[in-house]
Amino acid sequence: MTEETQHTFLDEVTTIPGGERLRTCIQCGTCGGSCPSGPAMDYTPREIFALIMAGERERVLKSNTFWFCVSCYYCTIRCPQEIPITDIMYQLKRLAIKAGYYRASITNFSETFVGQIETYGRSFELGLATAHYLRYHPIESVRMSPLMLGMVTRGRMAFRPKRIRGIRPLRAILRKAKELGGEW
């Protein structure tokens, strides 16, 4: 791995607002210790950041770490360096999709997510995770149930979906976006 390759991948990841803070990571492990999805990940966020710094582009983008991020922001809140970890996970998802490193089940996951947005006007994480795991990873869903229950009891995930008020304008926007096509 050349120094140029390392910096190229790091630069690519840190182009998001606040992304430059990733360079200040002290590898303390607070993010990984805080992450409710950590046990299901190939690498903890701390390990992913070390791999990014080492220029391990393919290894990072082929991992499942950022796909398991549930956007609870717990890692971001607790990070002593104020690194926007959740935002970096979204950036890694974008880079993985662009590079073609995603499983077929991911597209179904996205379709289910968009369906929830159309129905409720917001994400219903418990329903999304349950539908995805039961369909693609039934055995894993049993293993993940204590994690999901813990997130519900701690108020990190809703037990029942809530619909937003005034959903019609949102549905019109989504309909128009689908008509126009392009990247989501």
Domain borders along the chain are 3-99, 104-180
- Contact between 37 and 147 under an 8 Å Cβ cutoff? The reply is yes
pLDDT tens track of the chain, all 184 residues? Answer: 555 555 689 999 999 999 999 999 999 999 999 888 888 789 999 999 999 999 999 999 999 899 888 888 999 999 999 999 999 999 999 999 899 987 766 667 777 777 888 889 888 888 887 887 787 778 877 887 888 788 888 888 788 888 889 999 999 988 888 788 654 4
- pTM of the full structure: 0.64
Instruction: Map tokens 């149930």 to a residue.
Output: 145
What b-and-e string marks burial along 5-34, b requiring 16 or more CB atoms within 10 Å of the CB? ebeebbeebbeeeebebbeebeeeebbbeb
Q: Which pLDDT does position 107 carry in this prediction?
A: 63
Q: Provide the pLDDT for residue 180.
A: 80
Q: What is the per-residue pLDDT for 48?
A: 97
Burial of 76 (0-12, 13-18, 19+ CB in 10 A): buried
CATH class of domain segment(s) 3-99: mainly alpha
